[in-house]
Chain A
Amino acid sequence: MTSVLPRTAPITALPVGWIAEPQLLRGIGSADLVDYRAHRAQSVPARRLSQADLLARLDTAGLAGRGGAGFPLATKIRSVLHEGSRLTPFVVVNACEGEPASAKDTALLRFVPHQVLDGAMICADAIGAERILVAITDHEAQLAVSAAVASRPDAARFEVCPIEARFVAGEAGALVAALSVGSDGRRNTAQAVPPGRRVLPSHRGVDGRPNLLSNAETFGQVAVLVGSSPAPAAASQAATRAPSTTSPRTAARTSTGTRLLTVTGAVRSPGVLEVPDGVPLAQVAEAVGARPSQSVVIGGYHGTWLPAAMLSELTLSAAGLAGVGASPGAGAVIFVGTDTCALAELSRVVGWLAAESARQCGPCSFGLPAIAQGVASLLRATPAGPTATGQLVLSRAGTVTGRGACAHPDGAARFVRSGLAVLAEDVGLHAAYGTCRRRDQGHLALSRSAALSRSLALSEAALSEAALSAAALSAAALSRAGGGGMGMGAHR
């Protein structure tokens, strides 16, 4: 179960691994890409499901969107169906990953594209959609998906749409604007900014049609669910198990029991990890070889800082994180090592978030730079103490929240607020001495290649050490769990 593949070192290296049994990533490890033949050989042939059958399965599994908002997919499908539009709906697969600390959708599309395409097709058949648009920012994923589509008998129903990468491009409204056919008769993929009036894609999406728009992983999970779940009768029995009390081991066995994470920061092997939903964060830390950490950021740069003291008790599921005011978001987990100046890291990322504002909305385009400036000034020695500046930053974070065409200011405000709460001690040190005697080590990376590159710096010795520790972990997990061991696959 443990496999470490030899790595060549292209800049686009994208390591993937898993804890327990992979479901979405099934079949990789022995191959770079699970192609159509290999995919069909290991999955139940894609079949048409009735609306009722699909909805029943989704309800039972409680499948929620994996793009960040965590909205139940069944509810989205129902609102498309209830739209009663004269126009046939579209299915839109959102694989725009503008977050530098997230690479999971890119990994899915590059390595197991047919999971996502199957899931989208199952949904399209059930809601009576003819076309499926796949919106992708990553260039290699575009190539992989185009090739994957071409190899399918249902190729004609897919349209692969390249989208210019930027942080807000994946926002649903921005995506609808970018994908809609313009007056020139072409999809205007460059213009991915959120529109002023928010309209739900399920009501009026691309080309004015009702759209079932969801994240790539969500569709992948649909394929896993339909491909592996038993007959509906057995499925409804499973519904009686309370999801919140599901242990990681049982979760791994149920069909939607996994979640993709992108784990980066102060870790020996950053990468994309498929884990049982509700996996203990400590187990993730072990699997990637996390170095001693002072804090961890959950949910990426729109997410939440949490102190390392919580590391031992947190589990990664919507329910497990709700208690501490966090959510899995799109699954980005970043370990902030003890050797870095976390306040400088926070300040750098907030500056970046301000620069990523689409500069359409006043409160966002003036407020975020002002907040960034405030955080930066907390790094300097302040004889009067940091309280006034800190208060001003927090009050501005409150001011921008909810006052934009998209949720970018809300996410940035959440990131700053939770960061300053966790880093209160560092803020005090900086105010007193102008330093905490550490330097910004770049654990919160601003580009995907920087986020994932650490593994490239590993020597062969370190790699085999990582492999050994993964093997040891696997044995430990086996003895703890009495089955269902842990494997770390490394993959280009």
Chain B
Amino acid sequence: MTASQPAANRRPATGASAMLAVDWTRCDGHGLCAALLPGAIQVDEWGYPILDQSELATRPRSELTRAVSACPALALRRA
């Protein structure tokens, strides 16, 4: 087992810095965030969110904040 950093915590390769981050130990896969930010957050086949950071960077801050406070598991945060 290495002590290496998971890729999610690194800057995305696109050059855009991360806007939102998921605490994967908390996320229950409700998918609420994906419903609030369609096109920027998708869900995988198990219902867990896939974040498109460069797309998130184009969204108004208020929309991101709304998604963060809507997350029932307190799993979503500003990066």
**Interface set of A (CB-CB < 8 Å, partner B):** 65, 67-69, 71, 94, 96, 98-99, 167-172, 194-198, 213, 215, 302, 329-330, 360-364, 366-367, 370, 399, 401-411
Contacts and interface: CB of A to CB of B under 8 A. Distances in A.
Given A68-B2, A362-B28, A402-B10, 20 more contacts: A68-B3, A69-B2, A69-B5, A94-B3, A167-B1, A168-B1, A171-B1, A172-B3, A194-B25, A196-B23, A362-B46, A363-B24, A363-B48, A364-B24, A399-B44, A403-B24, A404-B6, A405-B6, A409-B6, A411-B2
Contacts of A367: 44, 46
A384 B33 CA distance: 38
Closest 7 CB pairs of A and B: A68-B2, A402-B7, A361-B24, A196-B25, A196-B23, A69-B4, A172-B3
Among B26, B29, B50, find the residue whose CB has the most chain A CB atoms closer than 10 A. B26
Interface string B34-56: 00000000001111101000000
Nearest to A175: B3
20 contacts: A67-B2, A69-B2, A94-B3, A96-B1, A99-B1, A171-B3, A302-B2, A329-B2, A330-B2, A361-B24, A363-B44, A363-B46, A363-B48, A367-B46, A403-B48, A405-B23, A405-B25, A407-B7, A408-B1, A409-B6
A98 B22 CA distance: 27
A361 B25 contact: yes
A361 B27 contact: yes
B50 A410 contact: no
Contacts of B28: 362
A150 B9 CA distance: 41
Given A68-B1, A360-B24, A198 B6 contact: yes
A267 B25 CA distance: 40
Given A68-B1, A170-B1, A399-B50, A407 B6 contact: yes
A362 B2 contact: no
A399 B29 CA distance: 15
A330 B7 CA distance: 19
Q: Does more than half of chain B's interface fall in helix, strand or loop, or is it mixed?
A: loop
A194 to B, nearest CB: 8
Contact of A170 (B3, B6, B27, B44): B3
Among A68, A213, A405, A411, find the residue whose CB has the most chain B CB atoms closer than 10 A. A405
A198 B5 contact: yes
Contacts of B24: 196, 360-364, 403-405
Contacts of B50: 399, 403
Interface string B1-21: 111111111100000000000
B3 A69 contact: yes
A76 to B, nearest CB: 10
B73 to A, nearest CB: 10
A302 B1 contact: yes
Contacts of A329: 2
A441 B33 CA distance: 47
B2 A402 contact: no
Given A171-B3, A198-B5, A407-B5, A362 B47 contact: yes
A198 B9 contact: yes
Interface in B57-79: 75
Contacts of A409: 6
Among B1, B27, B45, B48, find the residue whose CB has the most chain A CB atoms closer than 10 A. B1
A195 B27 CA distance: 13
B30 to A, nearest CB: 11
Contacts of A197: 23
Contacts of A213: 3
Contacts of A96: 1
B10 to A, nearest CB: 8
A99 B46 CA distance: 28
A363 B24 CA distance: 8
A173 to B, nearest CB: 8
A175 B51 CA distance: 28
Contacts of B44: 363, 367, 399
B12 to A, nearest CB: 9
Contacts of B7: 401-402, 407, 410
A402 B26 CA distance: 16
Contacts of B75: 196
B78 to A, nearest CB: 12
A363 B22 CA distance: 12
B9 A68 contact: no
Among B4, B5, B8, B9, find the residue whose CB has the most chain A CB atoms closer than 10 A. B4
Nearest to A402: B7
A362 B43 CA distance: 12
A361 B8 CA distance: 13
Contacts of B27: 361-362
B11 to A, nearest CB: 12
A194 B22 CA distance: 14
B23 to A, nearest CB: 4
A428 to B, nearest CB: 27
Contacts of B1: 68, 96, 98-99, 167-171, 302, 408
A202 B27 CA distance: 27
